[in-house]
Structure 1
């Protein structure tokens, strides 16, 4: 009887031991089959707002598709290179597996980005680091966009008797500087008279200065090279002009709702628009590919010049409103 009881106890212990081994084995197998969750940080070149929303939508969609843990990081004020450098260093120290960054400018960010890239993959979007072809990038050809915008202006004979104004603002951002230089070079090439309006980065100061410049305007057309400045020029012109009438033609860059609204209302004549959703999506995709040690190729994204007449084409609607299609 005692021997029988011992056998039962031994059998129970053996069963529990086998169950324990099975649980451990299953746990090991589960951990081996679970994919590693990569942590990737997106560092915008400015404050959180609509300017960066389409790019973040693309990055967020890619993060979902590739099962990546995404950390968006925004600056407390626009174009603050020192703050972006601090954010970059912080994300590396906090254990990010890769960084997707829209650099504020090349001059200040080149060395910090190179340093970070020695530790983890870094991909630049919207602007590349000038002269740093070894740093992977996704952006449109901003110089060509500026040139094409000038061509579009020159093809429109309306109000052509006065010079053209190029708005010099936010040129510390490489993408804006390249568009500005592309537009300026095309006008110089065609021997077209132009003036340069240098505006402060502060939006209120820039707007008040625009009111003064437009009020005594001696130009026929005004060109701006980023969303925020395009909005300010259109807002000032709309305030000074009767409803439905503008004294100058405005050409800009961007795809925020307000900028597109000005295009719809014919306050803005044409907009240079890059595919910001694709820039964001492909930027994160490239970071994942680097982590997976896949072959790389730098990517230049298409852009379009959109006016009020072709605003509602299917292609342009997809470009302007990617998440509503």
Structure 2
């Protein structure tokens, strides 16, 4: 026979079990750690994201892994310092916790930081400007000067002519300027005549390429400083029946369009960059800085000079066509 004392013990046990159940199924007493999500604004120097396809894939992966809410913002007017400054201030006012900026003018961005107009962590993309101010800052990018030297060296090895036409040299941005300086540092001491070309309006570089081909034919060598002028020049030679062949077309870029031109033999040599890693590391660094963590320094990221046959190489294939 169950005694009164035993009944009370069983009742007490039941109450304890109910209490433990409630304790385990609610956060009344034990608070679950909330995941901190950091707003990161990525502001580039261009009006289009055509050259940022692989970058955005890396960016999106890092956003998932490091709990970042990323906004990708382009300019309305390409190369406008004033507009980029306005966008930086707007995103900051709207509550972003970190900025990733591919600057029109790196020194101007750092001046904003030094003057406390930028008061969130800053990651500079593809800029030689060093970190300044008392806020955490990082840098992700490629050695475009060395890349230009590599391109210049390949031209001296492959081209017998001594004249090289330079496309995209009118008011070049930071990246194109460093790339140009690297090319000139090799070609000029080697005795090459480097001829800067001018073009105006949409299709201007295509027209300039056609004129050079008609005039110089197989002796003409073109080096393009940016993906846009390279794509226009390649378009001019993509239909061989319309224009005579030239000695060589070289440049930089990782868009599918340019890679297709390389695969077809329209472009002879292309400098390419690991844009996926750049996107991933820029957002990773921004999220770490926003969370008051020490961000790792990465130095210059990987870049390569490739020819048509290299597109079948597994190493380059992974870099140029990354999986999401």
Which bin holds the TM-score, normalised by the shorter protein? Answer: 0.7 to 0.9
Shift of 1:276: 0.6
For residues 75 and 27 of structure 1, do their structure 2 counterparts lie closer, same or farther at Cα, with a shift above 3 Å needed? farther
What SS is found at the alignment partner of 2:27?
Answer: helix
For residues 145 and 171 of structure 1, do their structure 2 counterparts lie closer, same or farther at Cα, with a shift above 3 Å needed? farther
- Structure 2 counterparts to residues 4-23 of structure 1, below 5 A: none
* Cα distance in structure 2, aligned partners of 1:152 and 1:138: 26
Q: 5+ unaligned residues in a row in structure 2: which ranges?
A: 1-18
Q: 5+ unaligned residues in a row in structure 1: which ranges?
A: 1-17
Equivalent residue, structure 2, for 1:156: 158
What SS is found at the alignment partner of 1:194?
Answer: strand
* Cα distance in structure 1, aligned partners of 2:89 and 2:213: 43
CA offsets per residue over residues 121-176 of structure 1, 9 Å max, x none? Answer: 01011x2153557742111101000000111111114xx23411122336542111
Shift of 1:44: 1.9
* Cα distance in structure 2, aligned partners of 1:65 and 1:103: 26
Moved over 4 A (4+): 113-118, 131-135
Equivalent residue, structure 1, for 2:251: 252
Among 125, 138, 154, the alignment partner of 2:140 is 138
Equivalent residue, structure 2, for 1:317: 317
Name which of structure 1's ranges 107-116 and 59-68 shifts more when overlaid on structure 2: 107-116
Asked if 1:96 is matched to 2:108, the reply is: no
Asked if 1:26 is matched to 2:32, the reply is: no
Asked if 1:266 is matched to 2:265, the reply is: yes
What SS is found at the alignment partner of 2:47?
Answer: coil
What SS is found at the alignment partner of 1:217?
Answer: helix
The question of whether the paired residues in 1 share the 8 Å contact of 2:36 and 2:67 is answered with no
Shift of 1:253: 0.3
CA offsets per residue over residues 187-207 of structure 1, 9 Å max, x none? Answer: 12322222111334x433343
For residues 220 and 69 of structure 1, do their structure 2 counterparts lie closer, same or farther at Cα, with a shift above 3 Å needed? same
For residues 315 and 302 of structure 1, do their structure 2 counterparts lie closer, same or farther at Cα, with a shift above 3 Å needed? same
* Cα distance in structure 1, aligned partners of 2:230 and 2:56: 21
The question of whether the paired residues in 2 share the 8 Å contact of 1:255 and 1:320 is answered with yes
* Cα distance in structure 2, aligned partners of 1:205 and 1:243: 17
What SS is found at the alignment partner of 1:42?
Answer: strand
CA offsets per residue over residues 11-44 of structure 1, 9 Å max, x none? Answer: xxxxxxx9xx979x825744x5112111111112
The question of whether the paired residues in 1 share the 8 Å contact of 2:238 and 2:261 is answered with no
Name which of structure 1's ranges 167-176 and 261-270 shifts more when overlaid on structure 2: 167-176
The question of whether the paired residues in 2 share the 8 Å contact of 1:44 and 1:52 is answered with no
- Structure 2 counterparts to residues 182-261 of structure 1, below 5 A: 182-200=182-200, 202-217=201-216, 220-239=220-239, 241-242=240-241, 246-261=245-260
State the superposition RMSD in angstroms.
2.8
Query: TM-score normalized by structure 2?
Result: 0.83
* Cα distance in structure 1, aligned partners of 2:68 and 2:170: 32
The question of whether the paired residues in 2 share the 8 Å contact of 1:163 and 1:220 is answered with yes
- Structure 2 counterparts to residues 45-124 of structure 1, below 5 A: 45-106=45-106, 108-115=108-115, 118-124=118-124
Q: How many residues align?
A: 300
The question of whether the paired residues in 2 share the 8 Å contact of 1:143 and 1:178 is answered with yes
* Cα distance in structure 2, aligned partners of 1:195 and 1:235: 21
What SS is found at the alignment partner of 2:158?
Answer: coil
What SS is found at the alignment partner of 1:186?
Answer: helix
Equivalent residue, structure 2, for 1:44: 44
Shift of 1:245: 6.5
* Cα distance in structure 1, aligned partners of 2:260 and 2:163: 26
Query: TM-score normalized by structure 1?
Result: 0.82
* Cα distance in structure 2, aligned partners of 1:27 and 1:194: 74
